[in-house]
Amino acid sequence: MAKREELAAAIRRCSLAVEKRIAEILPKQADDALSECLWYHLGAGGKMIRPALCVLTCEALGGEMESALDFAAAVELLHNALLVHDDIEDGDEMRRDQPALWVKYGIAHALNTGDYLLGAAYGAVLGTRGSAELKGKLITAFNDAFMRTVEGQALDIRFRADPAFTLEKYQRMVELKTGYYLAVGMVGGAMIAGASDEAIGRLWRFGTYAGPAFQVRDDVLDLTPGKGRGGKIGSDIEEGKASILYAHALTTASPDDRRRLVHIMSLPRKSTAPEDLRWVMALYQKCGTPDFARRYSQERLALAKAEIRALPLAKDELLTALTDYVIERRT
Amino acid sequence: MAKREELAAAIRRCSLAVEKRIAEILPKQADDALSECLWYHLGAGGKMIRPALCVLTCEALGGEMESALDFAAAVELLHNALLVHDDIEDGDEMRRDQPALWVKYGIAHALNTGDYLLGAAYGAVLGTRGSAELKGKLITAFNDAFMRTVEGQALDIRFRADPAFTLEKYQRMVELKTGYYLAVGMVGGAMIAGASDEAIGRLWRFGTYAGPAFQVRDDVLDLTPGKGRGGKIGSDIEEGKASILYAHALTTASPDDRRRLVHIMSLPRKSTAPEDLRWVMALYQKCGTPDFARRYSQERLALAKAEIRALPLAKDELLTALTDYVIERRT
């Protein structure tokens, strides 16, 4: 098992290289509204876990960091495009401890900047050095991941406060919304390293296990002051978010409790009273919902780990260490 | 010269084939929010000029319609993605004689549906049959056109009511925003037909002459009741739009008139009084602005025509007839 410091050094090495590549792809321009918007958002940083997963997967399967940098940059740019658009869609006003792009520059500039980040992401994929066949595989995987993520987002919006929401619907939504997008950087890194179709299949499956597991952990964290929203509890309930908690309680509570739950979830964000929040949290406890969600998350993380353990790793155990680290924390 | 009926039949033939391809790419799903949004927008139709330009360019340069259909569908999907996002950005409430997608389903679903249309467009480019090299050329051209269009849109938003707006800035903005996006279908059709780099260069130039020419014609039309906005005149003035009229008047009017012009352009849409509109329109006349704009448009259309006339057309003169038709009317 690689030491924690070795892993931290590897993440730093990837971050610096990918940040440099992104700065080459999107050079800062003076007196340019688009560049100002791009760097307002990008300059606030990010954990750079996805590009690190891309580079370390490539290296662990026998490739070189340099050859994976364009794809790693593409994945980070896609991540940022989705954040910029999602913040508009969800009405989230803060991002990375500063006002979200749409709050600072208006919806028009923010939406358009998200589009540009998307274009830049596709451009970065196409910038990968290699055969036309490799590029074709990379761009197809990238586009598939983008479309599935957007499909999942459509379900997420659709299922808000939906009285007919179920665990099956949650599962479909969360796999689409989080799974492919988590996996695609690793899949691209593996393709660049010349990995087998079997290894690539395992990485896609890693994403569809781990992505939902993280999302569920996030859903549960909303019941505690630990979600980085300034100690706020129950934001997801105020938003009527289609969380695993809502899905589980809706399918286990009594008809009367279900009706009241749906009513509270469908209230506009600012009309949800503190006693409504308390009632929903008590209902979740009564239904055993947080325990159910924790078990669901743990089961999926074990499956995700197993996929990484089964990879034919060539170089070292940094990838295993990174996925373990990611699994312990959150992307 | 091909007869008008022959051209109309050719456009119908392209439209039907491309509509069929789009329906295969995005099959309608029952009880699916994303599909409902997609087809609410797509089902309202469109003039299908861009896909017809793609197919007829391919045929005129010796290719087959069938081989160009995926790219033609991609161009139409890109066009629709941009319309969906632009309507949100510009606050336009009507599209194709029905409420715009964001008005009907909300900003969250509309933004996300635009993203999906983009993904579907890239997917359609990748669906083109042919060598990996051809696909690489197509997707690179497509992505370049998308990014330049978005760059132009950023300038368009930035230059609204800008007191330092100039004709040079207008030119840069409008070429980016309209030129590449008009040309890319034709460029793709030509690539699929195996056309020379010289022919492809001519098609890009066609776009960067004709796109701005159409936009300028559109700007001038805003001064007449003919723009299809229910007889409304001067909407662009209410919006503070960075039109060629604004650029020209700003650079020719007296300092006092300039100040008042900038003030009126910067008023919120609903605060612009009828006498403000009348004053701006009178100023445009005093500066000779509409005549300047008409000359600008005509010069550019002549240059655009010359590029098409210089193409090594293999099959028939339908492409010439179509571009003439497009030039006479508007895309």
Which pLDDT tens digit goes with each residue over A239-274?
899 999 999 999 999 999 999 999 999 999 889 999
Which pLDDT tens digit goes with each residue over B87-101?
999 888 989 889 999
Mean pLDDT of B255-276: 94
What residues in A contact B112, CB-CB < 8 Å? 85, 89, 150, 153-154, 157
Please state, for a pLDDT cut of 70, what percent of chain A lies above it. 95
What residues in A contact B113, CB-CB < 8 Å? 154
Side-chain-side CA neighbours of residue B163 (13 Å): 11
Residue B321: phi and psi, rounded to 5, are -60, -40
Q: How confident is the model at residue B185 (pLDDT cuts 50, 70, 90)?
A: very high
For residue B164, what are the contacts with CB-CB under 8 A and spacing of at least 6? none
- Which class does domain B4-328 fall in? mainly alpha
**Residues A137/A194, Cβ–Cβ less than 8 Å:** no
Residue B26 has pLDDT above 60, yes or no: yes
How far is the C-alpha of A138 from the C-alpha of A125, rounded, in Å?
7
Exposure string over B78-98, b if 16+ CB within 10 A, otherwise e: bbbbbbbbbbbbbebeebeee
Which pLDDT tens digit goes with each residue over B126-151?
999 999 999 999 999 999 999 999 99
Which pLDDT tens digit goes with each residue over A65-105?
999 999 999 999 999 999 999 999 988 898 988 999 999 99
Q: How confident is the model at residue A231 (pLDDT cuts 50, 70, 90)?
A: low
Which 3 state secondary structure label does DSSP give B292?
A: helix
Residue A229 has pLDDT above 60, yes or no: no
Please state, for a pLDDT cut of 90, what percent of chain A lies above it. 81
**Residues B284/B249, Cβ–Cβ less than 8 Å:** yes
> How close, in Å, is residue A261 to chain B by CA atoms?
23
- Asked if the Cβ–Cβ distance from A147 to B116 is below 8 Å, we say yes
Q: Where do the domains of chain A lie?
A: 4-328
- Closest Cβ opposite residue B126 in set A108, A115, A140: A140
Which pLDDT tens digit goes with each residue over B34-75?
999 999 999 998 889 899 999 999 999 999 999 999 999 999
Encoded amino acid at B188, one letter: G
Closest CA to A34 of B159, B139, B88: B159
> How close, in Å, is residue B291 to chain A by CA atoms?
31
How far is the C-alpha of A274 from the C-alpha of A52, rounded, in Å?
41
DSSP for B1-69, written as a single string? ---HHHHHHHHHHHHHHHHHHHHHHS---TT-HHHHHHHHHHTT----HHHHHHHHHHHHTT--HHHHH
More confident position, A261 or B331? A261
How far is the C-alpha of B150 from the C-alpha of B154, rounded, in Å?
6
Q: How confident is the model at residue A163 (pLDDT cuts 50, 70, 90)?
A: very high
What are the tokens at B103?
Answer: 């008005």
Please say whether the dihedral angle defined by the alpha carbons of residues B159, B161, B162 and B168, taken in this order, is positive or negative: positive
Side-chain-side CA neighbours of residue B289 (13 Å): 26
Please state, for a pLDDT cut of 70, what percent of chain B lies above it. 95
- In this prediction, residue A315 carries a pLDDT of 61
Interface residue ranges in chain A relative to chain B, Cβ cutoff 8 Å: 33-34, 37, 85, 88-90, 107-109, 111-113, 115-116, 118-120, 122-123, 126, 131-133, 135-136, 139-140, 143-144, 146-147, 150-151, 153-155, 157-158
Residue B301 has pLDDT above 70, yes or no: yes
Which whole-number Å values give the CA distances from B111 to A50, A107, B89, B264, in the listed order?
A: 24, 11, 10, 31
Q: What is the dihedral of CA A263, A269, A275, A279, to 10 degrees?
A: 50
Q: Cα B72 from chain centroid? A: 15
Q: How confident is the model at residue A187 (pLDDT cuts 50, 70, 90)?
A: very high
For residue A126, what are the contacts with CB-CB under 8 A and spacing of at least 6? A135, A139, B136, B139, B140, B143
**Residues A83/A149, Cβ–Cβ less than 8 Å:** no
What are the tokens at B29?
Answer: 């799903």
Q: Which of A91-100, A118-127, B108-117, B188-197 has the least mean pLDDT?
A: A91-100
> How close, in Å, is residue A186 to chain B by CA atoms?
20
Residue B331 has pLDDT above 50, yes or no: no
Residue B115 has pLDDT above 60, yes or no: yes
Side-chain-side CA neighbours of residue A57 (13 Å): 35
- In this prediction, residue B330 carries a pLDDT of 47
Alpha helices in chain A (DSSP H): 4-25, 33-42, 49-60, 65-90, 101-126, 132-158, 167-174, 180-192, 197-221, 235-239, 244-252, 255-266, 274-287, 289-309, 318-328
ipTM over 0.90: yes
> How close, in Å, is residue A123 to chain B by CA atoms?
7
Taken as a whole, chain B contains a residue count of: 331
Residue A331 has pLDDT above 60, yes or no: no
- Closest Cβ opposite residue A122 in set B143, B151, B158: B143
Tally Cβ neighbours within 10 Å of residue A192.
27
- Asked if the Cβ–Cβ distance from B136 to A136 is below 8 Å, we say yes
Encoded amino acid at B95, one letter: R
More confident position, B26 or A231? B26
Q: How confident is the model at residue B225 (pLDDT cuts 50, 70, 90)?
A: confident
Residue A330: phi and psi, rounded to 5, are -150, 150
- Asked if the Cβ–Cβ distance from B147 to A120 is below 8 Å, we say yes
Mean pLDDT of A207-226: 91
How far is the C-alpha of A195 from the C-alpha of A35, rounded, in Å?
37
Work out the angle at residue A165's Cα, subtended by the Cα atoms of residues A159 and A166, and round it to the nearest 5 degrees.
Answer: 130
